[in-house]
Amino acid sequence: MFETLTDKLQGVFSGLSGRGKLTEADIDKAMRAIRLSLLEADVSLPVVRQLTDAIRARATGAEVMGSLTPDQQVVKIVNEELATLMGGEGARLPTASRPPTVLLMAGLQGSGKTTVCAKLARLLRTEGRAPILVACDVQRPAAAEQLAVLGEQVGVPVWREDGTDPVAIAKRGVAEARRTARDMVIIDTAGRLTIDEEMMAQLVAVRDAVEPTAVLLVLDAMTGQTAVDVARAFADAVQFDGVVLTKLDGDARGGAALSVLAVTGKPILYVGTGEKVDALEPFHPDRMASRILGMGDVLSLIERAQQTVDVDEAKRLEERVRGGSLTLDDFLSQIRQIRKMGPLAQVVGMIPGLRQASKLKDVDIDDRELDKVEAIIQSMTPAERRKPDLINGSRRRRIAAGSGTTVQEVNRLLAQFKQMQKMMKRFGKGGRPPILGV
């Protein structure tokens, strides 16, 4: 989402590098460029002014003017001020002193609220919690059925009824949580295409009936400043406690993420990074600021790897590398592990400096290329995967036809695998091998 903003800010910092000392004119020029970049990223004007004023005040002070590396100091200041703008060290999900913790989810229709309920339940379950989902959206056809399907996917029970009174359903759902010793209750409520009095009145009625520990507002990051306007309206009517920002993997300009806290005073607690049920993660303002500035996010990358990589499989692969017996089956297994970490563009963006490297800066990182690789390998026989040297011309044509690719693409994969085998043999003589394909 922030790729365009990242590129423009990188350009600003490049213009400051290599100078022994920065003048006020240099800083004025940089501030104008930063201001324009933020406005183009759909950050609200008052927030842009607040941010650039804070950066200017520090950039014209002694910490930059007297520094031996003024350009690096400016980057440090921008990084810290961006993080502060989005919440500093970040906020944590409120929990009740006596279980269950009741979370009331609010938001407009189309923001991904029902899916977020299931994603949040899955995330809480991985943290050792025992959540239950409560289907209180009686307005949208099949909303309860959708939540039930999602609940089954993530292994979380769903309380649903055929009635039309969301207040009664919510109260009985909380009672069921207490009866079954569930310590987290996530209540899905009705949304509308636009804000209206009926929706707000229903939401307030459910809130007053169950007295939730926290009200979480689900916002669609793709709507830009409209999301901030929606947040302001909900803050006036319901007084929510935190935000879940969805579709942060989209191609919108990202202004909502930079504006929502400054405009509403409410923190972003979680962000949705994809469509799958595991694509929800806690929001860390400092890490997001680093990503925006192209500095990567190693901590999030490590956390994601720890959650997705099969340790036993990794050890088995290491043994095969050390023994020089790497096969295309191993290659396929490792590709699948990498894909569990999320879209390649996201993973690359977390590695400091990699996205800005000359070879990758203008490359469109497309996961569909990995689809082709998987299809090619799966079109091979077990013997061909173990011994790629068996693959002659007729076999290449058969594999290409079976995978829906071309002979040239099959040849390219085999050549790349042969190069990788040679590299892995060198690693096998000493040291831990890298993740394949990265």
Q: What DSSP string runs through 297-340?
A: -HHHHHHHHHHH--HHHHHHHHHHHHTT---HHHHHHHHHHHHH
Task: Give ∠ CA 121-123-127 in degrees, rounded to 5.
Answer: 110
CA distance 327 to 332: 9
Pairing of strands 158-159, 131-135: parallel
Do residues 276 and 250 touch, judged by C-beta distance below 8 A?
no
Pairing of strands 242-246, 268-272: parallel
Which pLDDT value is given to residue 350? 60
Which pLDDT value is given to residue 278? 87
Which pLDDT value is given to residue 397? 94
CA distance 400 to 175: 58
What architecture does CATH give domain 101-294? 3-Layer(aba) Sandwich (3.40)
Q: Tell me the average pLDDT across 289-314.
A: 64
CA distance 399 to 377: 8
CA distance 120 to 300: 18
**Which CATH class for the 301-428 domain?**
mainly alpha
Instruction: Give pLDDT tens digits for 401-430.
Output: 999 999 999 999 998 888 877 776 665 555
Q: Tell me the average pLDDT across 340-358.
A: 59
Instruction: Give pLDDT tens digits for 202-219.
Output: 899 999 999 999 999 999
Which pLDDT value is given to residue 63? 59
Q: Tell me the average pLDDT across 4-16.
A: 73
Do residues 110 and 191 touch, judged by C-beta distance below 8 A?
yes
38 pLDDT above the threshold of 60: yes
67 pLDDT above the threshold of 60: no
Q: How would residue 135 be classed by pLDDT, with cut points 50, 70 and 90? A: very high
Of residues 104 and 16, the one with the higher pLDDT is 104
* Domain assignments of the chain as residue spans, ordered by start: 3-86, 101-294, 301-428
Of residues 82 and 61, the one with the higher pLDDT is 82
Nearest C-alpha neighbor of 87 from the set 224, 299, 265, 215: 265
Which pLDDT value is given to residue 351? 58
CA distance 169 to 159: 8
What architecture does CATH give domain 3-86? Up-down Bundle (1.20)
* Token pair of 330 as six digits: 């191993």
Q: What value does the mean pLDDT of the chain take? A: 81
Q: Tell me the average pLDDT across 246-264.
A: 74
Q: How would residue 132 be classed by pLDDT, with cut points 50, 70 and 90? A: very high
Instruction: Give pLDDT tens digits for 266-288.
Output: 889 998 888 888 889 898 888 78
Label residues 229-240 b or e (16+ Cβ within 10 Å = b). Answer: ebbebbeebbeb
Instruction: Give pLDDT tens digits for 379-395.
Output: 999 999 988 889 999 99
pTM above 0.75, yes or no: no
State the residue for tokens 């594999």: 399
- Work out the percent of the chain whose per-residue pLDDT is above 70: 79
In eight-state DSSP terms, residue 433 is: P
Q: Tell me the average pLDDT across 152-162.
A: 94
* Token pair of 227 as six digits: 């999301």
